[in-house]
Chains A and B, each alone.
Chain A
Amino acid sequence: MAAVQWRSRGRDYDAELQRCRPEATPVEFGDYHPLKPIMVTDTKTRRGTRKGSTSSSSSSSSSAPSDPLSSMLDGTDPLSMFAAASATETSAMPHTSSTGEPGRKKREKQDEAVGSDFEPWSSKRGEILARFTTTEKLSINLFMGSDRGKAPNPGSSAVSEKVRTRLEELDDLEEGSQRELLNLSQQDYANRIEELNQSLKEAWASDQKVKALKIVIQCSKLLSDTSVIQFYPSKFVLITDILDTFGRLVYDRIWTMCSDTRPLPECFTLDDVNDTAKETCLNWFFKIASIRELLPRLYVEAAILKCNHFLNRSGIQETLLRLTAMIRGVGDPLVAAYARAYLCRVGMEVAPHLKECLNKNFFDLLTTFRQISGDSIQKQLLVQRVEVPEYLTLYSPAINWILQCIAYRAAESLLTEMMERCKTLANNALLLNSVMRAFRPEFVAVRAIDFISMIKDCDESGFPKHLLFGSLGRSLACADPPESERLTILNEAWKVITKVRSSQDYINCAEIWVEFTCRHFTKREVNTVLADIIKHMTPDRAFEDAYPQLQSVMGKILTYSHDFSVLFSMERFLPFLDMFQKDNVRVEVCKSIMEVFIKHQVEVTRDPVILNAMLHICKTMHDSVNALTLEDEKRSLSLLIIGFIRMVSFGRDFEQQLSFCVEARATFCNLEPVLVQLIHTVNQLAMETRRVMRGNHSRKTAAFVRACAAYSFITIPSLSSIFSRLSLYLLSGQAALANQCLSQADAFLKAAVSILPEVPRSINVEGKLRSSENFLLDFINNFLATLLVVPDHPEHGVLYLVRGLLNMVQDYTWEDNSDAKVHVYISALPLLAAMSQETYLYSIPNMDSNETLYGGDPKFLSEINKLCETLIGQILDHLKTLTRDESVRRQSALAFSLCAAVLAHGDLRNNKLSQLTINLWNLSHKHGHCETRVSVQTLEHIKHQAQQPGMAHLLDTVQRLTLQSRT
């Protein structure tokens, strides 16, 4: 093929722009426009005429747009109508027989329901199980053999063996078999109990009611065993689960017996219960009443307390009071306390309005308190080697629960009375603790001073005071004491806390009080508190065992103080931070600080205190990165550090900012995203300088922007990702150009070109290997666009960079069977065409591009044309290789893009060029792989172009471009 002669078409960009600008047409009010708000007028007709509809006909007639969903909810939909109807039916039915007036009933019903503000037992369960643990071996003794082995009671004369067995039948699980499981670990124990729970359910399901009862009795017997006393609260939790199951089973059974013919309504009366059900229920109570041992009798009867509903009205109240009195017979105060807790729990569930029994329980509890110091308990503790303070804490779940039940919606006066009673008792620390935990925080808060003086009056030996202050602190964290008392409270409390000797106890307590301090006081107090914590936790590296608490302290401080200048100006804050010496904890803490910082620091800052501290924190995070750090972790750390860098601004002091970036680069060299951010920051800095100088740099600023460029130039090579490097080179080059740093810009662009060969053919995108070709093409196009304004280097030849790039492209090892290289060539044509214009499409202010350098020098133009011709020659050569069947499609596409490029940028007055266009057109249509729609549009565009002044010659060409008719 003869060499093609290239002539670029002359362009008048301004005129073209003028022609292209679309006319703005105003949108009429009524017209449709996608961005206009939608107004729908509500024209719904009422459907209230439906027969039997009792629903209110309050269909909305407001002007608000109607929502089809909400209109379903206003009661006219069939489902809610049925529901409403059946509700009235069922509520009407049972009252035909009952004599009670409905109003009263309703109120009772409301009283009975325990609100959601009552913390349920289920939420305490886990806490107790987690807290009261033991490593000692436990034993389960199912079937107390003592009865059997004992000699016959001298008091009773001959008892026939037959009757005896019959009576004792209830006592043993499997006749004559004693199962004693020794040496159980805590987990084994829990598993055994769970097994028993399962076998209870199985026995029940297989109609072995007596066996079920036996299991329950045996289990509740375990509660009288206080060996391994530390585990008792957990044991209580496990076993009462079984009791609850049993209670539910019995109740449900009797319920279904009543619902034989028709389901029993929710609030049934005695008349609804049939005789068989009553008899069954009575049988249960008789059976339970004959259980020999006190504790099982007590627990099992409490478990089925709810069944009293089936027998009589006042049964529950009487039973509760009777059982309350019965607990007095339990000698061990701990066992008794838990029995009371269970009774209160059942009572609250079944009849929360019956407060009397709760109070009675509490007062009985108070009376039996003196037993704790009695001989038998002391002896027991000695044997089990349990300290009194530890023993006392075993009580807290039970007492807390009882008090919580009492305090629930209780009158202020009652609480005051309770408090008075506690005061009168000598050893009241345990109680006081429970009062503070169970009563409403508001109630405690207003009397905080009172409480403090009471705590002081407690004797030290029994219950540790730091626990008391811990409880008080917990209340004060939720409710505010009167303003005037706050400082006194803090002082008084801290006086005691600071004297706590054990560091673990100390930090547990201090952690709670930090919240109160942060909430109400300034940094001075918080600082003092921190100083105290440091003082206590530093000796013997006590902080090592208290990281969770220390972290929580940090968390609380961060929750309440968002002003970081205040925070970091606290002398003790950073020393406090230094206590986190375990690496992962330290990083965790730093991250939490950073998160709060990013969230709450709204304005950029230059405060040296903040910057120093933050740099320190960020450095800690950065330094935690090592070869084993997960990608994700790195990413999140980088994000946090980037967040900080973006918050730093020295305002007009650009040099300072740059030196900050220098320092940051040194500090965060291992985290690439941070480096990338730093380069962006510096580029932005350069552009900001330019803006301030309005484009005209002084000597000083020019030097500064060069420094910025230098910064970027030496930072970029340290990045490992090739595409970050490429794009940053380009970006920095652009920034340098904008700042008239020609040689720097040159260096950037040259560097970019020189690393092009390093681009791998495939890269890892989101864990998958992908071909890098598209990314590379994108970059090269972007790069080419920049090259338009880059003036040629005086020492190098014409179009040095363009040639360099094209050479690189040629030498690059493209994928086999790839047209990427040719695509680059084709996209270089528009650049070259644009370069040969008299006035360039765009230029950089205060910067001379080639247009002014060469001023349309014919030599320059002919260089360009030669280059174009070479490119076209290369492209045509390539096209020729694509003649085989499988590649004709590619050939057609390439030919079409080249054709389009020539049409748009070539000067078609030149016959050869015009002939080339036609040949390419025909080639692309030869195998019918062209999309007709695109061809038609192209033709139309050219026809349109031909009508522009000076383009008439196009018409000739167009006429020779024929559309291939589809067959």
Chain B
Amino acid sequence: MSVTLDIRLKRANKVYHEGETVSGVIVLSCKEAMQHHGISLSMEGIVNLQLSSKSVGVFEAFYNSVKPIPLISSNIEVAKAGKIPGGKTEIPFEFPLHTKGNKVLYETYHGVFVNIQYTLRCDMKRSLLAKDLSRNCEFIVHSLPQKAKPVSAPVDFTITPDTLQNIRERSSLPKFLIRGHLDATNCEISRPLTGEVMVEKSDVPIKSMELQLVRVETCGCAEGYARDSTEIQNIQIAEGDVCHGLSIPIYMIFPRLFTCPTLETTNFKVEFEINVVVVLHDDHLITENFPLKLCRT
């Protein structure tokens, strides 16, 4: 006797905002009628923080994992103990997305040390002989549009051997001049990052140009915190010795789930940066870093 349990959300993209109602159906399908001891459904939103082993000792990281921060939680009983008929049964449900007190629903974010996740969980209790069934379903929360529009000002940059920092032998560097601009560093998260870069001259042929999107996660509070930056994605925008004097577009779509509007709270921070990386044919690696401010409008 098999029974399957499924949660189906009404919205295909599973995206909800604060104040809206998460609605959907619980789908039960079994061949014949089935006895159960009650079905319950819970919604939960939490921030999981983790300290990296690099910032603190390994054991500390293991034990001192910062406590998760609950954002929202509610529970309803869908059905009392009883029987469900054979075939497919759909039980609709609705959860209002309201926070208690002055808590804010942060946007869903899947990171390395910070994870913000919202889930629906459906449990079906059954008799001793049969295992209890449960089903998880993640839904996505987008924060409400920010009122203040970001001021988008283009950022110009020029890279020459002279502008570089932390290099060992400046003299061994080949000569090059790379100019470019980003259209904005205050970015709307649903819009791509755009700009242009142009190799004006370079003594050594260029091997590759890449855009590296980096997340900077900070956990902890004033007395002690860990700040780690990790790569989210790396996109190649030029391959091989590109034509000099021809501007190459900078274009990156912010990946969903792995990015969220820049977030700063008392316990943790999530920030993003972009690196424009130029690899020369002699494997010199030139990086230009730009902090980004992401927002949702």
* Chain A contact residues, CB within 8 Å of chain B: 153-160, 163-164, 167, 224, 274-276, 278-279, 282, 286, 289-295, 297, 322, 325-326, 328-333, 335, 364, 367-368, 370-371, 374-376
Contact = CB atoms under 8 A, between A and B. Distances in A.
- The SS class assigned to the A binding surface is helix
B239 A153 contact: no
Nearest to A333: B243
B277 to A, nearest CB: 6
Contacts of A322: 249, 251
Contact of A286 (B112, B253, B277): B253
A659 B249 CA distance: 86
A159 B112 CA distance: 9
Interface stretch (B97-105, B141-149, B204-212, B262-270): B204-212
Given A330-B240, A332-B240, A156 B206 contact: no
A286 B285 contact: no
A167 B214 CA distance: 13
B231 A156 contact: yes
Nearest to B257: A286
Nearest to A332: B240
30 contacts: A153-B234, A155-B212, A155-B285, A156-B212, A156-B214, A156-B229, A156-B230, A157-B228, A158-B54, A158-B228, A159-B231, A276-B12, A278-B12, A286-B256, A289-B252, A290-B233, A290-B255, A293-B236, A293-B239, A295-B239, A297-B236, A325-B249, A326-B251, A328-B249, A329-B238, A331-B240, A364-B246, A367-B243, A371-B241, A376-B240
B212 A294 contact: no
B234 A292 contact: yes
A370 B244 CA distance: 10
A154 B256 CA distance: 25
Contact of B209 (A159, A275, A329, A368): A329
A371 B246 CA distance: 11
B256 A292 contact: no
Nearest to B243: A368
A279 B242 CA distance: 36
Q: Lowest 3 CB-CB distances: which A-B pairs, in order?
A: A331-B240, A329-B238, A275-B12
Contacts of A335: 240
B290 to A, nearest CB: 13
Nearest to B230: A159
A735 to B, nearest CB: 87
Interface of B: 11-13, 52, 54, 112, 205-206, 209, 212, 214, 228-243, 246-249, 251-253, 255-256, 275, 277, 285, 287
Nearest to B277: A155
B235 A331 contact: no
Given A292-B233, A328-B242, 20 more contacts: A160-B230, A164-B231, A167-B233, A275-B12, A278-B12, A289-B253, A290-B233, A292-B234, A297-B235, A328-B247, A328-B248, A329-B239, A329-B242, A329-B249, A331-B205, A331-B241, A331-B243, A364-B246, A371-B243, A376-B241
Nearest to A158: B54
B247 A153 contact: no
Contacts of A286: 253, 255-256
A368 B12 CA distance: 45
Nearest to B13: A279
Interface centre among A290, A322, A375, A376 (most CB of B within 10 A): A290
Contacts of B239: 224, 293-295, 329-332
Nearest to A277: B12
Contacts of B54: 158
Contacts of B236: 292-294, 297, 329
A282 B205 CA distance: 37
A331 B237 CA distance: 10
Contacts of B11: 275
Interface centre among A291, A292, A331, A335 (most CB of B within 10 A): A331
Contacts of B232: 167
Contacts of B249: 322, 325-326, 328-329
A154 B228 CA distance: 14
A160 B53 CA distance: 11
Contacts of B247: 328
B287 A155 contact: yes
Contacts of B112: 160, 163
B13 A275 contact: yes
Contact of B242 (A155, A295, A331, A370): A331
Contacts of B238: 294, 328-331
Interface centre among B239, B251, B277 (most CB of A within 10 A): B239
A160 B228 CA distance: 11
A662 B239 CA distance: 80
Contacts of B237: 294, 326, 329
A294 B251 CA distance: 11
Contacts of B275: 155-156
B246 A328 contact: yes
Contacts of B243: 328, 331, 333, 367-368, 370-371
A323 to B, nearest CB: 10
Nearest to B14: A279
A153 B255 CA distance: 20
Nearest to A276: B12
Contacts of B253: 286, 289-290
A279 B241 CA distance: 37
Nearest to B216: A157
B242 to A, nearest CB: 5
Contacts of B228: 157-158
A276 B54 CA distance: 42
A376 B285 contact: no
A374 B230 contact: no
Nearest to A275: B12
Contacts of A156: 212, 214, 229-231, 275
A471 B234 CA distance: 45
B247 to A, nearest CB: 7
Contacts of B251: 322, 326
Contacts of B240: 224, 330-332, 335, 376
Contacts of B206: 331
Nearest to A167: B233
B241 A158 contact: no
Contacts of A276: 12
A954 B108 CA distance: 127
B231 A153 contact: yes
Given A326-B249, A368-B246, A157 B229 contact: yes
Contacts of A275: 11-13
B289 to A, nearest CB: 8
Contacts of B252: 289
A400 to B, nearest CB: 22
B118 to A, nearest CB: 18
A549 to B, nearest CB: 39
Contacts of A325: 248-249
A154 B13 CA distance: 37
A960 B209 CA distance: 122
A328 B209 CA distance: 12
A328 B242 CA distance: 7
A291 B234 CA distance: 9
Contacts of A289: 252-253, 255
A367 B234 CA distance: 28
A108 to B, nearest CB: 28
Contacts of A293: 236, 239
A328 B12 CA distance: 37
Contacts of A328: 238, 242-243, 246-249
Interface centre among B236, B243, B255 (most CB of A within 10 A): B243
B212 A153 contact: yes
B128 to A, nearest CB: 38
A227 to B, nearest CB: 13
